[in-house]
Structure formats: C-alpha cells, structure tokens
Amino acid sequence: MSSTLTNPILQARGIRKSYYKNHIELPVLRGVDVAFARGEMSALVGRSGSGKSTLMHLLATLDQPDEGEVWFDGQRVDNLPRRGRDQYRNREIGIIFQFYHLLPELSALENVLAPAMISRSVLGYFRQRKSLTARAEAMLDRVGLLDRKTHKPSEMSGGEMQRVAIARSLMSEPKLLLADEPTGNLDTETGESILQLLRQLNTEDGLTVVMITHDDTIAERADRCYRMQDGLLVDRFTNEPSQDAATSPSARTSDQSPAPSRAVSAA
C-alpha cells in the first residue's frame, strides 16, 4: 500500500493533543498523521484508551488540537471560526455515535428533522417544512425504517435507533460519515446489519465512511485500516475486497507484519 493518498477527503497532519488533570499533562495524541481516501470505507482501530475518540473529535472539529492541522476536501478546517466549523460539521460530514444520541421525547421522524430545525430560524424551518419532512421520510426509508417514523427511541431496538441516527446524519447530504463504535452497543447480528447498511451507503450512495472501532473483526470490513496505539498511528493495511463486501469479512492482504513500535505516517 502506498503511504501517500493522492486526493484524500479528510486528513490529520501532525496532530498532538494532551489533557490535563491536576496540572499533570496526559499526552493522548503524540503526532498523528492520517489521511482517509475519498469514496472508501476506512477504519481507525485500536485498544481502549489509544486515542481514537479524541482523534475523531478533532477530525469533526468538536475539539481543537494543541498542534497540527485537520484538512477536509482541500480546506483546512481546524482553525475556522466557530461558525465555519459548525457549517463543516452540519453540512460536509455526518457523525454517528455508539449510543445514538437521540432525543427521547421525539419520534424517529422528529429526531431525523431535529438538526434541520435547530440550524434554521423558526420562519426558515416552517417555510421549508414540507420539503424537509419529505427528505427526512426518504432518509428513514433509506435505512429501512419508514414504518417506524412515529416511534420514540424507547419504542425502538438498539439497531433501529442506530438506523435513525444514520438517517439523521444523512439529512444534510454529507460527503463523509464519521462513525464512532457504530456497532459497539449492539449484538453481533444487529451490528452486522448496521455494517451492511454503512457499506451500502458507501458503495451505492458514494458516501465516504470512517469507522472508529476497538474490534479487529469490524476493522477488517473496511477497505483500509489504520491502527492506533498509545496516541500514535502504528500500522496501516488494506483489506482485499470480498466477493460480497456487504456480507462477508474481507481478508487482510498487505502489511501482514505485527504493528511496528514506531509511528507510521499515512498522510
């Protein structure tokens, strides 16, 4: 695998990030370079505490690095003013989390509509209400849940809630979906159906997908994997496309060696 992607959609360059507890520095990301290929499904894999979620938050501009840069589609995004970062997050990328982050009082349809409501004025929302509702229904249909549109989260299974979260993330027609442990709270079979949905969105709708996972068997379902350890990127490999990428795990084909102890630059 080449260490250089010619046209990555999302890239972290030289990222460093520490947290502080009682004035003691805890370095969590210690110089991470990683680039995610446009149109692919990638996985960021590593043990608990390796820094995956911290990196994802920085990639999503939910937090800012101490050092380094984040680039999306040819534009630096980490140093944008707050409004620019909000626009990047609301329009260019979609984000889903392990615990779905749905609003419990709202129905599935209202949850899918919620970001569109929040990002518009009351008048703007009411002017566009019909078309936004039609789009929200289309997104629920895309994830196979239109018949559950009036259900509240308490009336849905974990897999259904994750589908609603995915539908919500698709409302803005993002180019890229960041998925933090998307199957982490689900049983194997339900997790499998979510992985298949993510793969379909990738192959059929052209959505770039970046999954964060601690699970090697899930990472093997991606086209390309990056392994993190102790705040460093220590390995990268591609997975051979399987005959049915949506249903069977693919085989690791390059860089079969164990993770090197030094950092690997993938930018």
Ligand X SMILES: Nc1ncnc2c1ncn2[C@@H]1O[C@H](COP(=O)(O)OP(=O)(O)OP(=O)(O)O)[C@@H](O)[C@H]1O
The residues that touch ligand X, with contacts defined as CB under 6 A, are 19, 21, 26, 28, 46, 48-54, 214
DSSP state of 261: S
55 vs 102 by CB, closer to ligand X: 55
Alpha-carbon separation of residue 33 from 68, 199, 213, 255 (angstroms):
9, 25, 18, 18
What's the closest the beta carbon of residue 12 comes to ligand X, in angstroms? 13
DSSP state of 62: S
What's the closest the beta carbon of residue 30 comes to ligand X, in angstroms? 11
Contact indicator for 145, 168 with CB cutoff of 8 Å: no
What's the closest the beta carbon of residue 233 comes to ligand X, in angstroms? 12
What's the closest the beta carbon of residue 1 comes to ligand X, in angstroms? 23
- Looking only at Cα atoms, what is the longest distance across the chain? 58
Burial class (CB in 10 A: 0-12, 13-18, 19+), 3: exposed
175 vs 236 by CB, closer to ligand X: 236
37 vs 232 by CB, closer to ligand X: 232
172 vs 183 by CB, closer to ligand X: 183
Q: Which residue, chain included where needed, has tokens 């446009």?
A: 38
